């Protein structure tokens, strides 16, 4: 199953969403599960939810509803994350989601020598993003997700990033259309 984590806050008008949806059509993926974070009721961890979660982890009750998203992330064959470039990385809602799937004992664990071992099945994560300007040497959103994925055992991260979307509003649609056309024609 390909798990799509959609953090395109602007919904139907999002260029990032249009970009990854075109990819899905060209890739002709069959078994796809999409979660749209903006439509979910997820909150940052707080003292109370963290305490409850730690209790469940201690008892190894990983079948609990609390861990539904973490189990889904762990079991996916491939993962696609789509998030626009916001404030040098990505919308905070994606971080809220990543908090939910980062569970010691479920998506990663520690060996006796203190080293961290990822427990996720996916070998590859695709990261889709569109940026208003140019991100420079490093896309911090992609770099963060890449490091996060490595911690969870996902070795390969592939960036699908479009830059310069907002330099001139008149170019926006054109830049997107050209990139999408290239995807469709496989170049
Ligand atoms: C809250 C917010 C923060 C943004 N921060 C940045 C930024 O730091 N750098 C940048 O180049 N563009 C920034 N942008 C512009 C978006 O990256 C750009 O418009 C992108 O194409 C939006 O994607 P979407 O159509 O999928 O929502 C920001 C836009 C918003 C709404």
CATH architecture entry for 2-184: 3-Layer(aba) Sandwich (3.40)
pLDDT at 30: 81
Where b means 16+ CB within 10 Å and e means fewer, 9-32 reads beeeebbbbbbbbbbeeeeeeeee
Cα(46) to centroid(ligand 1), Å: 28
Whether the model clears a pTM of 0.85, i.e. scores above it, the answer is yes
The β-bridge relationship of strands 78-82 and 2-6 is parallel
- The mean pLDDT of the chain is 95
φ/ψ region of 185 (left if φ > 0, alpha if ψ in -120 to 50, else beta) reads: alpha
- Rounded to whole angstroms, the Cα distance separating 180 from 81 reads 17
pLDDT at 28: 80
* Statement: residue 22 has pLDDT above 80: yes
- The residue contributing the CA closest to ligand 1 atom 27 is 14
Point out the ligand 1 atom lying closest to the alpha carbon of residue 134: 11
Band (pLDDT 50/70/90 cuts) for residue 177 is: very high
Where b means 16+ CB within 10 Å and e means fewer, 111-135 reads eeeeeeebebebeebbbbbbbeeeb
- Rounded to whole angstroms, the Cα distance separating 4 from 78 reads 9
Three-class DSSP category at 117? strand
Band (pLDDT 50/70/90 cuts) for residue 183 is: confident
Cα(132) to centroid(ligand 1), Å: 5
> Contact at 8 Å (CB) between 66 and 52?
yes
Cα(98) to centroid(ligand 1), Å: 20
Does the beta carbon of 99 lie inside 6 Å of ligand 1? no
Band (pLDDT 50/70/90 cuts) for residue 107 is: very high
The β-bridge relationship of strands 108-110 and 116-118 is antiparallel
pLDDT at 159: 96
Does the beta carbon of 131 lie inside 6 Å of ligand 1? yes
Name the token pair of 29.
């993926």
Q: In a mutational test of the pocket of ligand 1, which residue from 84, 164, 172 has the highest number of ligand atoms less than 8 Å from its CB?
A: 84
pLDDT digits 0-9 by tens, 24-67: 998 887 899 999 999 999 999 999 999 999 999 999 999 999 99
Does the beta carbon of 132 lie inside 6 Å of ligand 1? yes
Alpha helices in the chain (DSSP H): 15-27, 47-58, 68-75, 92-101, 140-151, 172-184
């Amino acid at each position: 199953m390909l798990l799509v984590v959609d953090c395109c806050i602007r919904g139907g008008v999002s260029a990032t969403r249009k970009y990854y949806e075109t990819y899905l059509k060209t890739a002709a993926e069959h078994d796809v599960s999409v979660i749209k974070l903006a439509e979910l009721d997820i909150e940052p961890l707080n003292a109370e939810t963290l305490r409850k979660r730690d209790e469940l982890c201690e008892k190894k009750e990983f079948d609990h509803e609390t861990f539904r998203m973490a189990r889904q992330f762990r079991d996916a064959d491939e993962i696609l994350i789509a998030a626009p470039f916001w404030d040098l990385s990505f919308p905070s809602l994606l971080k809220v989601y990543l908090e939910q799937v980062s569970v010691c004992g479920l998506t990663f664990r520690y060996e006796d020598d203190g080293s961290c071992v990822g427990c996720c099945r996916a070998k590859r994560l695709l990261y889709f993003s569109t940026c208003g300007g140019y991100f420079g040497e490093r896309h911090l959103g992609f770099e963060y997700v890449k490091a996060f994925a490595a911690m969870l055992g996902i070795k390969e991260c592939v960036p699908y990033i479009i830059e310069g979307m907002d330099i001139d509003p008149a170019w926006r649609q054109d830049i997107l259309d050209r990139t999408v056309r290239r995807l469709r024609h496989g170049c």
